Structure 1
Amino acid sequence: MNEVSNKDSFVLDANTFAKLHPKEFYRKFLTNNIRPDGRLLKKFRKTSINLNSLKSAEGSCVLKMGKTSVVCGIKAEVAEPRVDDPRKGYIVPNVELSPICSSIFKPGPPGELAQSISERIDKLFKQCKIIDLDKLCISEKNAVWVLYIDVICLSYDGNIFDAALYSIISALKSLKLPEVTFIEEEGKAEASKEKTISLELLSIPLSATYVVFDDKYVLADPNEEEENLSSTSITFIYNEEHKLCGISKLGGIPLSSELIQDCMSSAIERTDSLRELLESTLQRN
């Protein structure tokens, strides 16, 4: 009896098993088309946004996507235009991932992931013409608006690119710039304390990210653990006209055309729902 009792007592509880054998733990769920957090494979996490929370910024957004949360603040400054573009303003996006949001990030200069996301967003703005940079011109060759867009991750649980991009687009939609006049005789710009202008976006591209687990299970909106356990991730960026603005793939395994097409259809639905959430939030504000 004691021998049987000892054998029965040596049974791993779910939490211990998940820590010791995380991939096998996931497989037991995924074979039943569900994830350990209760989501279906193509289910995205609950997403919420709160606009204009930072009173010191010209535009801002606090976003929560599951347990991933970020805050985006946009500071606008008047500066001299770049020599090669005397009639255009410009933007400077920056994503910060510090130890505050997760212990996997270290103090010091921006890490590889933060730099990569900042560069991808900068490239997206240049390629997709989200903003008419001519509209940021105050006086040709003299003064333009520079938009410093800072995204700070408050809590990291995966899929930071989708969260960062959505928070930036949302903050831009809420952006209010003071009306500025450039006084040539004095060589300076003078801002109105009462009049403000909004910045019209030419395009609203948003993203949807997926990872591939065991080379066959496709998981939408991956959390940090799912990212770490998966071999490949793929991100689709669509605008409001369902035009594919960008696609990026990390990881070496080839993906079938059927799998890609399935993800593309899901990504269109996801980005449409995010735009609807943004519009309803703007109307309430």
Structure 2
Amino acid sequence: MATDHKTLQPLEFYKTFLDRKTRPDGRSLLEFRRMTLNAGSIGTADGSAIVKCGNTAIICGIKAELVAPERDEPQKGLIIPNVTLPSLCSSHIKSGPPGETAQAATQFIAELVNNNIIMDLETLCIKNSKWSWVLYCDLLCINLDGSLLDACVMALVAALKNLSLPVVSYDEEMDKLISNIEDKMGFHGIKQPVTSTFSLFENGILISDPTFEEEQLAAGVISITMEGTSVTHLYKPGGCTLNEKQVKKLMQQSELKTKEVVKLIEEACSPMGVEPID
């Protein structure tokens, strides 16, 4: 009978749980799902990480190349993200060209990158107007069950912190690059932003870390990106409005999650003989 109710009236079925301040998966309204992180698990990548947030799972692999910097920003390198949602990750994703969800996620990550929220792009430059690193960051979703942006940001930051590249310098007299493939380096300037997604329901109820189903049933979704206690980015694609009390509550929950995620990343990406450079 409960299954029929869920199928025929999914929102009404879900509201019976909200009225009891709980959710179908047993969590409280503001409880986040368990998160796991494994860095350096892809041997063919220059940096990698696998993240699970509940049932949502993301693999991030980074490949680096040396290129000439962009003419309008000769002192910066590039980070080029790409989020892929194959049809196997969810029954709601169709095969074919990137859909709206994948494109929106890629654009979200690109905004964080271009606003130096993820990393100081100047640290990727070797010689102004001559040489810089470009990092191709592929984020593959192997299972989609809500809070996609949270998992993508976490995986990208961890993969960047896992990055291991040959030491490269520029010789002014010879006008060429000199590299030492035996010596490896990472980068300073990698920040620790954490994205937290919440769903909003028309009756004013807020929930943390929504599943895919909860995102579909909600009146709106908001993703807050923080570094420490500072908000660095807000993403709210339409939906209902928030009052001051609700915003304050979401900030408090975001801070709690930020501390937990930063700890996970630091534990997974502890230095292993790779020397960071400025």
Same fold (TM over 0.5): yes
Mapped to 1, the partners of 2:107 and 2:169 lie a distance apart of 32
TM-score normalized with structure 2 length: 0.92
1:219 is matched by which residue type in structure 2? I
Does the Cα contact within 8 Å between 2:120 and 2:190 map onto a contact in 1?
A: yes
1:260 is matched by which residue type in structure 2? V
2:168 is matched by which residue type in structure 1? V
Aligned-residue offset at 1:229: 0.4
The answer on 1:93 being equivalent to 2:91 is: no
Aligned-residue offset at 1:141: 2.4
Rg comparison, structure with higher value:
1
Does the Cα contact within 8 Å between 2:157 and 2:190 map onto a contact in 1?
A: no
The one-character-per-residue Cα deviations of 1:143-186 (angstroms, maximum 9, x if unpaired) are 21001111000001111011101110111111111112346687
Matches within 5 A, 1:1-285: 12=1, 14-182=2-170, 189-240=177-228, 242-283=229-270
Mapped to 2, the partners of 1:230 and 1:118 lie a distance apart of 23
Aligned-residue offset at 1:137: 1.7
1:46 is matched by which residue type in structure 2? R
Unaligned residue ranges in structure 1 (runs of 5+):
1-11
Aligned-residue offset at 1:253: 1.6
Does the Cα contact within 8 Å between 1:239 and 1:245 map onto a contact in 2?
A: yes
Aligned-residue offset at 1:268: 0.8
Mapped to 2, the partners of 1:225 and 1:266 lie a distance apart of 21
Does the Cα contact within 8 Å between 2:157 and 2:191 map onto a contact in 1?
A: no
The one-character-per-residue Cα deviations of 1:245-264 (angstroms, maximum 9, x if unpaired) are 01121233222111111111
Aligned-residue offset at 1:25: 1.4
Segment of structure 1 superposing worse, 45-54 or 107-116: 107-116
Mapped to 1, the partners of 2:93 and 2:156 lie a distance apart of 22
Superposition RMSD in Å: 1.8
Segment of structure 1 superposing worse, 94-103 or 38-47: 94-103
1:112 is matched by which residue type in structure 2? E
TM-score normalized with structure 1 length: 0.89
State the percentage of identical aligned residues: 36
Unaligned residue ranges in structure 2 (runs of 5+):
273-278
The one-character-per-residue Cα deviations of 1:213-239 (angstroms, maximum 9, x if unpaired) are 233221100001101100111111110
Mapped to 1, the partners of 2:190 and 2:269 lie a distance apart of 17
Give the structure 2 partner of residue 6 of structure 1.
none
User: How many residue pairs align between the two structures?
Assistant: 272
